[in-house]
Each structure stands twice: as structure tokens, then as C-alpha cells.
Amino acid sequence: SKSIDAYDLDYQRFLDSAKEKYKKNFCLLVRLHPNISKIASNIIYSESVINATFYPNVDDLIIASKFVISDYSSVLFKAMRFNVYSLIYASDYIRYFSEERKNYFDIKTLPSPFASNNDDFIKNFLSFNEEEYENKVKDFNEMAGYYNDESSLTALVDRIRKICGK
């Protein structure tokens, strides 16, 4: 059955922590996975916790954000690409990987700090070091062979041509 159990982040506690860390108010945009978007109304929203589930372009939301909080979604990689900080909150981590699926690599090795409960998540957020994160992203991109510069597309086309013998 579809549920919002994995969305049990303490939103208000996070917003209070963000205000404490950055000395200003934040809004939290909540965007449910498309598979459960029909139950988006099960989340309790407010002036600072906003339903962004049906906003059509997730890239716009990422670019407009200071942080992306996700579990196993590819938005973590998009956040890295757009130079937006990210944190992992996966309260269902053990169940997800024991019952549902395997991953290409251990999610805990990503540059984003990992937490499976609210206490650890808030601790990760409050101790989040932007420079350290940026260095981890750089190392991760090098390890993964990801390049993001003007010559990347040209290099890719040249490599494909070489492989295809053209």
C-alpha cells in the first residue's frame, strides 16, 4: 500500500534549526514521489511547509533551493549538478534495502550527510559544513567520471564516434 511513512521528517524542527543556523526564516517545499502523489494531501502543510508535489519541473525547485533533502532519489545528483547542498533522510533505509531493492553503491558514501532518524538528521544539518560538502562533491564527481564543463558534450560525441568507428 502507498503511504507517506517515509516522509516523517520533523518539518518544524528542521525549519527551527535552519533559522538557528542561518539566522533567517526558510520555507520547506515538500514534493512527494510521483507514485504517491495522489496522497499528497496526507501531509500537514502550513505557511512555511508548502506542497510542491504537483509543480511540473523539479529542476526549478532544486535551483531555487539552498538544500535538497531526499532519500534515494536522483534529485541528489541533480542537486550536485546545480551546486545545491543536499542531505539524505531515509527513515526506511533498512526496510527499503532489505525488502525492495539494491543500489549501485552504498548511499552512505554520497557527499550528502546520511540520517535515518530526526535526531541524526538535525545533528547533520546543524553541523553541515558547506566547504567540506563541496570538496566531497568534487571527489565524488571525479570518482564517478562526471564532468561539467563546456567541452563535456564535445568529448562525449568524440568518444561515441571513436567507439562506433566513425
Q: pLDDT at position 109, please?
A: 80
pLDDT at 95 exceeding the cut of 70 = no
**Contacts with 102 (C-beta within 8 Å, 6 or more apart), sequence order:** none
**Contacts with 111 (C-beta within 8 Å, 6 or more apart), sequence order:** 80, 86, 133, 136, 137, 139, 140
**In contact, 142 and 127? CB cutoff 8 Å:** no
Which of 50-54, 76-80, 98-102, 125-129 shows the lowest per-residue confidence on average (mean pLDDT)? 98-102
Q: pLDDT at position 158, please?
A: 83
Mean pLDDT confidence for 130-142: 94
Mean pLDDT confidence for 134-142: 92
pLDDT at 69 exceeding the cut of 70 = yes
pLDDT at 125 exceeding the cut of 70 = yes
Mean pLDDT confidence for 57-70: 95
As a whole number, the mean pLDDT across the chain is 86
Q: What is the pLDDT of residues 31-51, one digit of tens each?
A: 988 777 887 878 889 999 999
Q: pLDDT at position 59, please?
A: 95
